[in-house]
A = this chain, B = another copy of it.
Amino acid sequence: MRKTLYYGMVGASLSSFIGVVHRIGISFDGRAKMVAGCFSTNAKKNQETADFYEVDQNRVYASYEEMAEKEGKREDKIDFVVISAPNNVHYKTAKAFLENGIHVLCEKPLCFEVEEGEELKKLAEEKGLFFCVNYSYSGNNMVKEARELIRAGKIGRIINVNAEYLQEYLVDDVGDTEDKMVKLSSWRKDPKVAGISNCVGDIGTHIENTVAYMTGLKLKRVAAKLDYFGQPLDLNANILVEFDNGAHGVYCSSQVCVGHMNGLVVRIFGTEGAIEWVQENPNILSVTLKGQPTQIYNRGMGYETARSQAVNRLPSGHPEGLYVAFANIYRDWIEALLKVVNGEPVDPAECDFPKIDAGIEGVRFVHACVESNAKDAAWVEV
């Protein structure tokens, strides 16, 4: 009866902020150990990271292909791989590990093309492997609370959605004719690495996922106006959306909105009430019932639904932040895999981590937005 999992990482060298968040998130519950990695294509960085984490030299790999192949053949192979590398690496890396019998947790976006996503899904199913796409905001307690309340019918039928993800960090790119490809985050602006979209692909897709997670609604079509401001990829997006239940809404995604650091805000309006969640102050949820005062839910209080109570780590008023969102996703992920490795049945309903379908939906959304924009914001089916 195993109580601990072993994992490896692709990407996530010491200089990668998100890679560190993965490692810390996993460590919260102490049920998985990192034992292998290909942390960087830069050999020095790769080795430094391996040294820092005290990874056995035999399991430090120069390429993800080597890692997938060699780990796949080990008796004590890693149980899962975390892929936290630039976007263009996701698909092929995920594929390689699946082919070698290793469960995959991959950063978003899952891949560039919908077909790639479908292929990975098929492959995982054939191999009986689990696949998580790290839409990390769904790990927040209050996002789960919103979902529970909406599922329970608290706000009635959804009739309007207003969501945004605003940042300011690329505003200097606007209207600049010089090459800006030298910034820290430059790969996000390079189509070869980032894919067909920057702003929608990087952050707009979090709006899509968070709304889908909270509401269970599917996007039917989008009418998107993207602004490139002279850059190869989009920096700003205003998107009309239509859901399968007939409701409409807007998604606004931007990296040029001064005054907003990482402003994911989701507002769901129903016939009986409304819910608002603000990522930058994530322990709070605003819930209003029709004709009633807005109620400010605090994470950790007794009035939370059972599901949210279950994922509380700290008492109310003690801020849980981004690391905890990761930790919550990893808890569900690791609990499911522990059952798998121990031969126990896994109830899909208990697997509250973002699945490959969410990843594919994200790719569809990005493609639809880019296509719509190319058609001057005509409606495009998702």
Where the two chains meet, the residues of A that have a C-beta atom closer than 8 Å to any C-beta of B are: 17, 20-21, 23-24, 27-28, 30, 52-53, 155, 157, 159-160, 162, 164, 167-169, 171-172, 174-175, 223, 225, 227, 229, 236, 238, 240, 242, 247-250, 252, 254, 256-263, 267, 269-274, 276, 279-283, 286-298, 300-303, 313-324, 376-379
Taking CB as reference atom, which chain B residue is nearest A272? B258
- Nearest first, the 9 closest Cβ-Cβ pairs linking A and B are A262-B317, A261-B317, A259-B288, A321-B321, A319-B321, A293-B295, A258-B274, A261-B316, A294-B296
Given contacts A171-B271, A280-B317, A379-B377, contact A258 B290 (CB under 8 A): yes
One complex includes copies of this chain to the number of 4
- Complex Cα gap A359–B316 (Å): 26
Whether A249 pairs with B238 at a CB distance below 8 angstroms is: yes
Known: A257-B269, A262-B317. 10 other contacts (CB 8 A): A17-B313, A23-B30, A30-B53, A223-B223, A258-B288, A261-B317, A262-B318, A294-B296, A319-B322, A376-B379
Interface centre among A240, A248, A263, A321 (most CB of B within 10 A): A321
Taking CB as reference atom, which chain B residue is nearest A295? B293
In the complex, which residues of chain B have a beta carbon less than 8 angstroms from the beta carbon of A171?
Answer: 271, 290
- Complex Cα gap A257–B291 (Å): 11
Looking at the complex, which one of B270, B271, B321 makes contact with A318 (CB distance below 8 Å)? B321
Q: What is the distance, in angstroms, from A268's C-beta to the closest C-beta of chain B?
A: 10
Looking at the complex, which one of B247, B248, B254, B296 makes contact with A160 (CB distance below 8 Å)? B254
In the complex, which residues of chain B have a beta carbon less than 8 angstroms from the beta carbon of A155?
Answer: 258
Taking CB as reference atom, which chain B residue is nearest A20? B313
Whether A301 pairs with B261 at a CB distance below 8 angstroms is: yes
Given contacts A249-B238, A260-B317, contact A291 B274 (CB under 8 A): no
- Complex Cα gap A183–B14 (Å): 44
Q: What is the distance, in angstroms, from A365's C-beta to the closest C-beta of chain B?
A: 17
List 18 A-B residue pairs with CB atoms under 8 Å apart, sorted by A's residue number: A17-B313, A20-B313, A27-B27, A159-B174, A160-B257, A168-B288, A171-B271, A223-B225, A225-B248, A238-B250, A240-B240, A258-B270, A279-B317, A291-B303, A293-B295, A293-B301, A319-B321, A378-B378
Taking CB as reference atom, which chain B residue is nearest A175? B271
Looking at the complex, which one of B254, B292, B378 makes contact with A303 (CB distance below 8 Å)? B292
Whether B290 pairs with A297 at a CB distance below 8 angstroms is: no
In the complex, which residues of chain B have a beta carbon less than 8 angstroms from the beta carbon of A317?
Answer: 167, 260-263, 279-280
Looking at the complex, which one of B167, B225, B280, B321 makes contact with A323 (CB distance below 8 Å)? B321
- Complex Cα gap A263–B272 (Å): 18
Given contacts A258-B288, A319-B282, contact A238 B248 (CB under 8 A): yes
In the complex, which residues of chain B have a beta carbon less than 8 angstroms from the beta carbon of A322?
Answer: 314, 318-320
Whether B162 pairs with A164 at a CB distance below 8 angstroms is: yes
Taking CB as reference atom, which chain B residue is nearest A263? B317
Taking CB as reference atom, which chain B residue is nearest A285? B293
Whether A271 pairs with B52 at a CB distance below 8 angstroms is: no
- Complex Cα gap A18–B319 (Å): 13
Q: What is the distance, in angstroms, from A284's C-beta to the closest C-beta of chain B?
A: 8
In the complex, which residues of chain B have a beta carbon less than 8 angstroms from the beta carbon of A271?
Answer: 171, 174-175
In the complex, which residues of chain B have a beta carbon less than 8 angstroms from the beta carbon of A376?
Answer: 379
Given contacts A293-B296, A297-B293, contact A236 B261 (CB under 8 A): no
Q: What is the distance, in angstroms, from A322's C-beta to the closest C-beta of chain B?
A: 5
Looking at the complex, which one of B249, B252, B313, B378 makes contact with A162 (CB distance below 8 Å)? B252
Whether B281 pairs with A257 at a CB distance below 8 angstroms is: no
In the complex, which residues of chain B have a beta carbon less than 8 angstroms from the beta carbon of A291?
Answer: 168, 301-303
